[in-house]
């Protein structure tokens, strides 16, 4: 009985027409559907990529500010965080996207306000420049954390994408007078 079934299967298999693949019309329809799906997915992917980059950059700044605050408390000394493109001196022009340094005045009579990390000051950390496609600006070029962890005035910074075009979202980073750092997402689509 099994040989009869095998014979029937063999006859039915030989009697069917072999598959020849896709026709030109089927291929064009498939390519059109694929193109439509790609057009829908690419903007969503770009938004996710932008969101991840902004989160990464803002998290780096938050971590640095928290480090500066904790070092000020631990050392019982003023610890400053300022914009820096070279890692040795504070910059008075440009934005925070050029990078920043954290340093402490060790109390040996140095001038922490002269913009250069002197021999009596200790550089704690240096953050290299962010991507040139991003703008990271604010109302302060430096932040001084007191030994109590407080800062003299609030700080507000705006992080956004400049190029190739302004992104549809931004991050606003704030440092309150208590030294606490916060971040919020805005969606103005404007970057300057």
The pLDDT of residue 12 is: 52
DSSP assignment string, 120-165: TEEEEEEE----TTEEEEES-SEEEE-TTS-BSS-EEEEEEE-SSS
Question: Which residues of 1-141 form beta strands (DSSP E)?
Answer: 79-83, 100-105, 121-127, 134-138
CATH class given for the domain over 25-186: alpha beta
The pLDDT of residue 76 is: 93
Tokens 């770009």 label which residue?
Answer: 46
Kindly tell me if the per-residue pLDDT of 165 is higher than 80.
Answer: no
Cα 166 to its chain centre, rounded Å, is 15
pLDDT in tens, 20-32: 677 888 888 888 8
pTM for this entry = 0.73
Measured between alpha carbons, how far is 42 from 192 in angstroms, rounded to an integer? 25
Beta-carbon contacts of 37 under 8 Å, excluding residues fewer than 6 positions away, are none
Domain locations along the chain: 25-186
Most confident of 16-25, 73-82, 83-92, 101-110: 73-82
- Length of the chain in residues, anyone? 192
């Amino acid at each position: 009985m099994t040989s009869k079934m095998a014979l029937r299967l063999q006859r039915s298999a030989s009697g069917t027409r072999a598959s020849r693949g896709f026709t030109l019309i089927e291929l064009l329809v498939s390519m059109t559907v694929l193109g439509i799906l790609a057009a829908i997915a690419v903007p969503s992917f770009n938004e996710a990529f932008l969101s991840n980059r902004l989160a990464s950059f803002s998290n780096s700044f938050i971590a640095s500010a928290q480090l500066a605050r904790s070092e000020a408390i631990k050392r019982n000394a003023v610890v400053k965080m300022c914009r820096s493109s070279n890692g040795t001196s504070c910059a008075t022009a440009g934005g925070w996207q050029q990078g920043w340094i954290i340093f402490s005045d060790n109390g040996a009579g140095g001038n922490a306000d002269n913009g250069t990390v002197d021999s009596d000051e200790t550089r704690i950390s240096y953050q290299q420049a962010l991507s040139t496609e991003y703008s990271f600006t604010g109302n302060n070029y430096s932040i001084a954390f007191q030994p109590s962890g407080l800062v003299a005035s609030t700080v507000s910074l705006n992080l956004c994408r400049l190029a190739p075009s302004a992104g549809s979202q931004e991050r606003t980073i704030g440092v309150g007078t208590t030294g606490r750092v916060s971040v919020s997402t805005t969606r103005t689509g404007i970057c300057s």
